[in-house]
Amino acid sequence: MTDPSSLPRHNRATSYDVAAAAGVAQSTVSRCFQLGSNISEKTRAHVQAVAARLGYTPNLLAQSLITGQSHAVGLVITRYTLHGSPGLLYALGDALSKARKRLVLLAVDDDEAVASAIGDIQGYPLDGLISCATLEDSFVTQFQAHGVPVLFFNRLPGRVKADSISTNHAKGAGELAEALLAAGHRRFLCVGGPAQAPVNVARMEGFLAALRKANVEPIGVLHTDFSYQGGHDAFLEAAASGVRPDGVFCANDAMAMGVMDACRFSLDWRIPDDLVVAGFDDVPEAARSSYRLTTVRQPIQRMAEQAVRLLEARIKQPAAAIQTILVDGTVVARASAPLAPISPAEAASASGRRRNGSAAGPA
């Protein structure tokens, strides 16, 4: 066995250096760093201890060429999603880690920016790809042709066949609208994200469809960038133009919290006395005492774990039937928009108070 201190200095220790120092074959070193390899724990511990002393780390690219698996999964995600639902990245990363997979992240500005950035991840030896952004059919086909299955998370695939798991955004938003209507609200302002963003489209269509079913038309539909500041500024601009809602639906929680702060700190409008505000996602901040936001909860952790199981199954059985899974969200009632149904007399009284209230409150 070679004394590690006698080895020549390299910029980076190699598996051959570890083999010489540990007194084993180079192939044994490689196997000691492969998941599920058939090697004794005693040998693995010895070799890895020597590797640690030498500062050796395995070359994952080289390993993937030998084994045909990199244990790496790509994740394409938009910055809108990262800002609005940061828990989604953590949930997927945690689920992949439990499955002993490594995450390779590609963050893009929005769905339109994917095409120019997708090449940054195509060169990696991936076992699979999870996309939280819209991908062109041709990109999906290219990945699949190279043996990389694609799964869409909170997105639906286009015409190409690919697995997907998504919250039923339209249904959740529709159920929230029905609950707000049952509570007596009729003058709705809807604040959405980018007009063409698939998640925004589904949530807004679901909410507006429920209003139409009740013969209620919104007093305004706005589009901004899914951010807190976007919701805040868009609402102040609408209020300055004379818009006076009794209910505001935002397509995500970040915008809803921006609207709430605009009401409280710039307009001196009281929530929920002067108007109610509701969002979608149920991010951790939504439950904090400063917001107590009524919203639609996405079961992100459960969806992430199911997504990784779907991807693992696809890797093992590429020809299996495609799965499209829709998961129901849950309406969560909090102080920003109490949802207990009220009587017609109470609704009329509340409406009268809004019409005859002070100039600081919406009419």
Q: What is the pLDDT of residue 1?
A: 53
What CATH number is associated with residue 49?
Answer: 1.10.260.40
Residue 147 lies in a domain: yes
- Residues 248, 347, single domain; the answer is yes
What CATH number is associated with residue 104?
Answer: 3.40.50.2300
Q: Of 242, 155, 154, 243, nearest to 191 (Cα)?
A: 243
d(CA 46, CA 171): 56
What is the pLDDT of the chain when averaged over all its residues?
Answer: 87
Least confident piece of the model among 29-38, 120-129, 141-150, 173-182: 29-38
Q: pTM score, two decimals?
A: 0.76
DSSP letter (8 states) at residue 265: I
Q: Of 9, 13, 11, 3, nearest to 33 (Cα)?
A: 13
Arithmetic mean of pLDDT, 274-292: 97
- Residues 292, 149, single domain; the answer is no
Contacts of 48 (CB under 8 A, 6+ apart): 32, 33
- Residues 249, 178, single domain; the answer is yes
> At 221, which amino acid appears?
V
Q: What is the pLDDT of residue 115?
A: 86
The answer on pLDDT for 56 being more than 50 is yes
Confidence band, pLDDT 50/70/90 cuts, at residue 348: low
Least confident piece of the model among 5-9, 27-31, 171-175, 280-284: 5-9
Q: Of 302, 296, 271, 264, nearest to 281 (Cα)?
A: 296
Residue 340 lies in a domain: yes
